[in-house]
Amino acid sequence: MAQSDEEEGISATCHCGAVTLRLSRAPAEVTHCNCSLCRRYGTLWAYYTKAEVTILSAQPTDTYAWNGRHIDFHRCAHCGCVTHWYPRAESRDRLGINARLLEPAVLDRARVKQADSGGTGLFH
């Protein structure tokens, strides 16, 4: 067991391993958002400040932006996994990482918050 590694930080990786997100801590809460994009991606988001995340990518990620283009949604250019979203403005410090890329045991310990951003009324 690499117990000491786990204590130093948590990693989220895409399927092929080209993109690794090093996190300063495990998420206490993840957000299940049902907006038109997130429900298609099937993501769970964990939010961090820029200082809490180190993004390691073997090659440039592909991106997608919509709805004002304030943030870019990044995905691995090789395996296609959605990895994170990142704000375009320097002044915005919050980013989201796709918690589905965490080890299942790490994700299991997080509370799931339902965000009804799609306004469907399905979440209460």
By CB under 5 A, name the binding residues for Zn ion.
14, 16, 18, 76, 78-79
CB of 80 to Zn ion, least distance (A): 7
d(CA 112, CA 46): 10
Smallest separation, CB 2 to Zn ion (Å)? 22
Is residue 123 within 8 Å of 113, Cβ to Cβ?
no
CA atoms of 61 and 17, how far apart (whole Å): 12
Q: How far is the CB of 76 from Zn ion (least distance, A)?
A: 3
Sign of the CA dihedral running 29, 98, 57, 106: positive
Residue 96 and residue 84: Cα distance in Å, rounded? Answer: 5
Is the Cβ of residue 46 or residue 82 nearer to Zn ion in the bound state?
82
Residue number, 5 or 80, with CB nearest to Zn ion: 80
Instruction: Choose between 42 and 120: whose C-beta lies nearer to Zn ion.
Output: 42
Contact 11, 97 (CB under 8 A): no
C-beta closer to Zn ion: residue 22 or 78? 78
Q: How far is the CB of 29 from Zn ion (least distance, A)?
A: 26
